[in-house]
Structure 1
Amino acid sequence: MFDKISFPSAPNFFAEWRTIYFEPIPNSGERITILIATKDISGKIEIFDALHPTVIDSLYGSKASAFNGYIKLIKSNILKNNGESTIDGVEVSVWHTSQSINIHGIVKQALYKTASLGAVALKSLFEQEDSVLENEQVDNRWSKRIKNAVLRIDPSYEKSFDIKIPIRKDVKILCGFHTARYSAKFNVCTSQTITRMKSNLMDLQIFDSHHISDKFDLIIQMPTDDNLQVPLKTLARMKDNIELLREEVSSKPNISIYTCDSEVEGAERIFEMLKAS
């Protein structure tokens, strides 16, 4: 009866994982999962983020940058102490033994088993129809992160951000970054932001028709294929939305859609286009 049934072989990658918790209010008992630490059979320790940058922005607002700096400090501390923490307000779970196809599979198991505030916020951002996170705020925070990344490299571009460009006497359109050679608008790609991305793309087409700049980008924050926090089905839907947008501007040689996972990549794209234009 079972002669023709082929069962998959068991995953042969073994490792341990533990959860790193942060207590935002000391002695409150509230804990947020911020990191996942892994240890392979050779004893090598690796640290992975449990919170998506967009979620950190939404949770901490203007203090997001400081919180990101704190997470970097915690990572360094844990690596120096062989997977342990010596920082007040940071706790670690016990080590859990697991197996998967690779280290990313181990981390995904850890994220799935850890019911963190970040996971709930991420689900509402990427999956739920009625998100508690306002998409406009999400886009604005992405824009601010790119702006800060650019200004860290070249502060002279301070006045090139958030420019209202006059199209005619009674119409002005906001542009995230603008120079005579190159302009860009910014979006975060989620399952809910296709309308906002289309709107920004239409603005860029208006800029192009009025010769506002020589080249234009819609710079979109998009999770990479190996992102550990966004489900594969959700990522596939997001990719489909991006392809639809690219089809809409396929006949517009001056307009491009550029996807990246971090504000550093977004800033690098801006300088690359400024240099080329």
Structure 2
Amino acid sequence: MTSVEDLFPSEPALSGNWQSIYIEPVVGSGERISIAVAAVAGGQYKIIQSIRPELLDCLYGSKSGEIQSMISWIIESANQELCKARSLNNWTAPVSDVTLGDVHAAADENINAILKQGVRFSSSLSTLALEADREEDDTQPKPYSERWTKSIIEEMERVNPLLINNFKTRVRLSGSEILTTFGFVNEKYASNFGLLIPTRLSNSLNTLKARVFDLEAFKKSDNLIKPSCYEIIVGTPSFSDPTLTDKSVSKLKNTIDMVSEIAATEGIQLYRVETALDAARHINQSAA
């Protein structure tokens, strides 16, 4: 027999709180933008960036790299304070014009879900951008992929500097004089790099398909010396990233599956990473 209690959802497994961190982009303007959300629950703590990097590109253009560096610095400082005190009450930000929002009580199934609440209620830029309907001709700016490649190279300088000269290798794939640039090539391993950007998924997919095609052409070319392994390295956000909606995560996974199937038909592997360091370590393991 169904009781009254059965008609209501069960109490969430985890209780805690979340708090947003804001910056004032124009000093003295009074304008505030949420850059991060911190959560503390059940002895756990976590802080995440609440404004996505591609939105910083749209807002600040060529200055977005500087803004991102500042945000990363603020988040690292706040994370250290949470590690010590499990609270930001006595935290002093490393830069001026940083303010804390109110502490909000919350409950959900895990700390990522609590962070997602915080993003939804404090960072309209990220939430609205991810849920907005976009035109199919929305393009993926070249700087995204260029910065992704640059980041992987920078990490490789720390992982294995001996492989640096193998990045951005240009290869002639036919009898013409046209050279095709690959992310990484040595005698045993070749890879191209791509990004799947949740807000520009359609064009991200087209870019990845083109890079898979280049690898396929390299594999089928009549070059006397060719690698034995070909791979497309795809950078994506974490599937548990609280700034992503469930719909965005589902689309992201479906796109990865599609690219993986396309690549596999030509014996090309797909390797997904969430950071440039992960990519550098994988390349080192595969090519060294």
- TM-score range, shorter-chain basis? 0.7 to 0.9
Pairing of 1:48-127 with structure 2 (within 5 A): 48-55=48-55, 59=60, 60-63=63-66, 66-67=69-70, 69-76=72-79, 78-79=81-82, 80=84, 82-84=87-89, 85-87=91-93, 88-119=96-127
- 2:177 maps to 170
2:15, 2:41 within 8 Å by CA — same for their partners in 1?
yes
Distance (whole Å) between structure 1 residues aligned to residue 144 and residue 29 of structure 2: 29
Structure 2 CA distance for partners of 1:108 and 1:207, relative to 1, 3 Å = same
Q: Distance in 1 between matches of 2:81 and 2:22?
A: 12
Provide the C-alpha distance between the structure 2 equivalents of 1:120 and 1:160, rounded to a whole number of angstroms: 40
Deviations 1:112-156 (A, max 9, x none): 0113544455557xx623687734322222222111111122233
- Once residues 245 and 54 of structure 1 are traced to their aligned partners in structure 2, the CA distance between those partners, rounded to angstroms, is 22
Counterparts of 1:131 and 1:71 in 2: how far apart (Å)?
35
Residue aligning to 1:250? 264
| TM-score, length of structure 2 as denominator length | 0.81
Shift of the alpha carbon at 1:231? 1.5
Aligned to 1:38: 39
1:23 aligns with 2:34: no
Report the CA distance shift for 1:65/1:229 in structure 2 as closer, same or farther (over 3 A). Answer: closer
* 1:176 CA drift (Å): 1.4
Give how far 1:162 is off: 1.9
- Equivalent residue for 1:262? 275
Name the CA shift for 1:177/1:65 in 2 (closer, same or farther; >3 Å).
farther
User: Counterpart of 1:213 in 2: which secondary structure?
Assistant: coil
1:105 maps to amino acid: A
State the identity %. Answer: 22
Alignment of 1:183-194 (within 5 A): 183-190=190-197, 191-192=201-202, 193-194=204-205
Question: 1:30: Cα distance to partner?
Answer: 2.9
1:151 and 2:157 equivalent?
A: yes
Deviations 1:172-223 (A, max 9, x none): 1111122222121111113221111111100010111125322121111123
Deviations 1:34-60 (A, max 9, x none): 221222365x54323323455556654
| Corresponding residue number in structure 2 for 1:213 | 227
Residues 56 and 71 from structure 1, CA distance in 2 versus in 1: closer, same or farther, beyond 3 angstroms?
farther
Q: Which secondary structure state, in structure 2, belongs to the residue aligned with residue 112 of structure 1?
A: helix
By how many angstroms is 1:229 displaced?
1.5
AA paired with 1:145? S
In 2, the alpha carbon distance for the partners of 1:41 and 1:228 equals 18
Query: Structure 2: which 5+ runs fail to align?
Result: none
- The CA distance in 1 between the partners of 2:265 and 2:45, in whole Å, is 49
Task: Report SS of the residue matched to 1:93.
Answer: strand
Q: Is 1:161 aligned to 2:167, yes or no?
A: yes
Mapped partners of 1:272, 1:113: distance in 2: 42
Q: 1:228 aligns with which of 233, 239, 242?
A: 242
Q: Is the 8 A contact 1:181 1:214 kept in 2?
A: yes
- Paired residue total: 270
1:55–1:122 CA contact under 8 A, matched in 2? no
C-alpha distance in structure 2 between counterparts of 1:137 and 1:123, whole Å:
23
